[in-house]
Amino acid sequence: DQQVKQNSPSLSVQEGRISILNCDYTNSMFDYFLWYKKYPAEGPTFLISISSIKDKNEDGRFTVFLNKSAKHLSLHIVPSQPGDSAVYFCAALDMRFGAGTRLTVKP
Amino acid sequence: NAGVTQTPKFRILKIGQSMTLQCAQDMNHNYMYWYRQDPGMGLKLIYYSVGAGITDKGEVPNGYNVSRSTTEDFPLRLELAAPSQTSVYFCASSYGTTINTEAFFGQGTRLTVV
């Protein structure tokens, strides 16, 4: 039973616009979440995280929002750049990953 | 600083052969993980270890074995390779699973079983 779910396999946005990637979880005991970014033929790299004591965490163009009541988190990228084109994974602290969302940012 | 190093990068195995995927980290991390990523799919946790001498099953452990005799090394053993084990394998390590930690991944091993 997958406890972290990314239901959108792909997302395409125009350069300069906002990208919103979503992640849902089922276990209300999860209290820390991480987003990773993966380019082809490379290992994933850590992007940003959020603790359940917060509802928002920002790092430059990347912001993660956490809605504990809905068991939902989202990653916002503003403005999106072509170099952001990659697969994005969310993960809970138990290191189980969602299926990923492939983001394509068009110039 | 090498981080997480996986060898080999590529390998072709015949059905029924065995092999060991090597993983080493130089960050003195306690936690290490093995994942597989099938084409177009996400990362599935195979095995993990919380320290030397301790290993535990992840989501998809069947057909694999691991050992953790040192903090640095976490090899993954495939016995009797099957076509279903064709995948890209990633090793990762982290300081722990407390707050403010993240995992560092190796570059992956692309395995084809024919």
Q: What is the pLDDT of residues B13-68, one digit of tens each?
A: 999 999 999 999 999 999 999 999 998 888 999 999 999 999 999 999 999 999 99
Cβ-Cβ contacts under 8 Å, B107 against chain A: 41-43
Burial class of residue A35 in the structure, from the number of CB atoms within 10 Å of its CB (0-12 exposed, 13-18 middle, 19+ buried): buried
Residue with tokens 């936690």: B31
Taking the CA of residue A18 and the nearest CA in chain B, the distance in Å comes to: 24
Shortest CA distance from B46: residue in chain A: A96
Cβ-Cβ contacts under 8 Å, A46 against chain B: 102-104
Shortest CA distance from A3: residue in chain B: B59
Q: Which two tokens stand for residue B6?
A: 């996986």
Mean pLDDT across chain A: 94
Taking residues A79-105, what's their average pLDDT? 95
Distance CA B16, CA B3 (A): 32
Taking residues A87-91, what's their average pLDDT? 96
Contact B1, B69 (CB under 8 A): no
Contact A12, A18 (CB under 8 A): no
Q: Residues 6 or more apart from A78 whose CB is under 8 A from it?
A: A18, A19, A61, A63
Taking residues A32-40, what's their average pLDDT? 95
Are the Cβ atoms of A44 and B105 closer than 8 angstroms? yes
Are the Cβ atoms of A97 and B42 closer than 8 angstroms? yes
Bridge partners of residue B31, in order along the sequence:
B94
Shortest CA distance from B88: residue in chain A: A41
State yes or no: pLDDT of A68 exceeds 80: yes
* Residue A84 per-residue DSSP state: G
Are the Cβ atoms of B97 and A94 closer than 8 angstroms? yes
What pLDDT, on a 0 to 100 scale, did the predictor assign at position A86?
A: 97
Residue B43: which of A49, A94, A97 has the nearest Cβ? A97
Distance of CA B10 to the CA centre of its chain: 14
